[in-house]
Structure 1
Amino acid sequence: MHVNFGGFVPLSTVDWRGRSVCVVFFRGCPVKCWYCHNQAIQTGEDRRAVKEIEDLIRSSSLLISGVIFSGGEATMQPSALLALARYSKSIGLLTGLHTNGVYPDVIRELIQQQLIDHIALDIKAEWNLYTVRGKERAVGKQVKDSLTLCTDAFHAGTLRSFEVVTTLFPGYGEEVMTISQDVAPDIDLVLQQGVYTGIKPLDMNELKKIADKLEKKVRIRTRSDGEITYEGNRNSGDAGIR
């Protein structure tokens, strides 16, 4: 069995809140967002034996408590993803997935086989889940299915950690309100600062103003300030907590 390999980070403290992890990147993505910070691995081919990636994970195992599978889109390669998740669990590591949710059946398989501990579901604000056109409407339905699946698993205790992440650029305020309505109150919603050449990113105060309209506790993530928990107008005042 082989992986279309995108890269490996042996030690990261920013990809899973509160944990030191390694990160395995899978090459290839069906979405190809214009602002993706991993555009170099959206396409192309670098086939590696699964055993080679297992060896990379093992080489980091003394320094980490978990593995994040990212991309690209890891769920595009279900056989390799399940094999690497199974291997990681076998050597005592927790497993996490960063996914755009386009392949809910793969996510379901990971959960049913108890091969995943944490999922960060990246919902694209510009899809708006329901109002987009053409093929994006079908994609939005698949992402909504993944959101429901992960939420149900989290509430049932079969998924120990789940968060929804949406990357924001100027003009995306209305879209995030639609997304927020479908995120259960006990699920972390992360408003992530979008960064792209030629576009002025939203700063922390601008992201707080968007969060105020949601009237719920959220996490706000920027490059300069890291991540804070923000309650804002929910408690009649700014309440950011690092």
Structure 2
Amino acid sequence: MTDKRTALVTGANKGIGYEAAAGLARAGMTVLLGSRDRERGEQAAARLRAAGGDVRPIVLDVTDPATIEAAAAALTRLDVLVNNAGSSGPLDETPSTTPVQSLRAVLETNLVGVLMVTNAVLPLLRRSPVARIVNVSSGVGSLAHHTDPGHYMSGLPASATYPVSKTALNALTVQYAKELRKDGILVNAAAPGACATDFTKDLPFKITRTAADGAAIIVRLATLGSDGPTGGFYDDDGIVPW
């Protein structure tokens, strides 16, 4: 096995996923840029190659088992998995007005998709001596934030979709960390913070934090040393309370 590591980033043709791919490429990795749309993925990978990165597009829809299986079958090595692909769901639905299909759709991407992709590539990760899994969560997945009257998130509108999916993703992260600790695979959740991307463009307030700012914690967790933490939830400032 050569020293050059290989990383797979899902949902990486734009936004935080794109910047995470860029950061991992700058760290010297071969990066597989996952995208549902082939053309957009190829264009994003070409931009990163033009900047000097070893970046290759791969078609991957985390809700489609066929594309997951095809992507996994095409790999011969994997050291880092960044589960970044995500869905926000409707922003104007409270729990009492949320159709069950809205919750199911968000969970299919933000939770079930993470499970399917991770399990598909685990055989390769188990062969790596430096395997890392980073699940891209969100501060809105913190139950502590929502129940702390002094935290601004306690005043956000109630939602049964995106925050719920990220809380569940945090729990899944802990369970993978428990299982994979014996294999030396470090598994952590990252909270990139609210960044100015297509994901947040419809919010009623201006965001100045960039996607590159948000991707920094993802890259940091993806490049942890062997003595790094596992089963944690982190942002720029350190540990995020569950």
TM class, shorter-length: 0.3 to 0.5
Q: Which has the higher strand share?
A: 1
Per the normalisation by structure 1, the TM-score is 0.42
Q: Which has the higher helix share?
A: 2
